[in-house]
Amino acid sequence: MISLKFWYLLYRIAPYLKLDRQKIADRIISINNKLLKGSKHGFEYDEILVLLPHCIQDKDCKFRITHHQDNCIMCGKCHFGEILKYCKEKGINLRIATGGTLARKIIKELRPKGIVAVACHRDLIEGISDVKKIPVLALTNIIGKCGPCISTGVDTKKLFDLIEKLHKKHI
Ligand code: SF4
């Protein structure tokens, strides 16, 4: 398998070569997740951090959830409620990161043993390469009819599967 370093390099120079950056990012995320899924983790739920982008909240939602997740009434208009419920039941740390700086701060504070990050391609690629000592499984968010960065979605089945991959004793 071609190393991740090669794909990162290709991702950086893709605009000059007129290559599709998104496809390369997909490849990086897929390789990253495969490599990590092949490792043994077995973290407790409370050692796992789930990072979500703020744009998964429905654009018309009137509740402020970035710092007060319990404001969410789980109305089902966006995926946040479902993810919040799952994480609460399991005791998983769930945070919304409005950018890379806040994500780094959260990681520094919580010191998780494993991370599942949901974001757009660009933020995920930056995040995966940024966090060196902690396994980061990545999942791209779903761009809906509002376009990128507004009312995006999450494949919650895939998200919960990635969380379980970090949690199970043998992957
Ligand atoms: S589930 Fe409903 S209440 Fe919760 S953040 Fe989404 S839109 Fe707002």
Cα of 116 vs centre of ligand 1, distance in Å, is 21
Residue 135 backbone phi and psi in degrees, to 5: -65, 130
The tens digit of pLDDT for each residue in 155-165 reads 999 999 999 99
User: 102: Cβ below 6 Å to ligand 1?
Assistant: no
Q: What is the pLDDT of residue 55?
A: 95
Ligand 1 centroid, distance to 89 Cα (angstroms)? 18
Output the residue whose Cα is nearest ligand 1's atom 4: 72
For 84-129, the pLDDT digits (tens) are: 999 999 999 999 998 888 999 999 999 999 999 999 999 999 888 8
- Domain definitions of the chain by residue range: 42-167
Candidate of 54, 55, 57 to mutate for ligand 1, largest count of ligand atoms within 8 Å of Cβ:
57
Within 10 angstroms of residue 80's Cβ, the number of other Cβ atoms is 24
Query: Distance from the CA of 159 to the center of ligand 1, in angstroms?
Result: 18
Residues 81, 70: Cα–Cα separation, whole Å: 9
**Whole-number pLDDT of residue 169:** 60
pLDDT digits (tens, 9 = 90+) for 50-64: 999 999 999 999 999
Kindly write down the DSSP assignment for every residue of the chain, as one continuous string. Answer: ---HHHHHHHHHHHHHHT--HHHHHHHHHHHHHHHHHTS-----GGGEEEEEEGGGS-TT--S--SS-GGG----SSSTHHHHHHHHHHHT-EEEEESSHHHHHHHHHHH--SEEEEEE-HHHHHHHHHH--SS-EEEEEPBP-TT-TTSS-B--HHHHHHHHHHHHSS--
pLDDT for the residue numbered 110: 96
Q: What is the mean pLDDT of the chain?
A: 92
Tokens 């399991």 map to which residue?
Answer: 90
The alpha carbon of 40 and the centre of ligand 1 are apart by a number of angstroms equal to 35
Q: Which fold has domain 42-167?
A: Rossmann fold (3.40.50)
Q: What local confidence, expressed as pLDDT, does residue 43 receive? A: 94
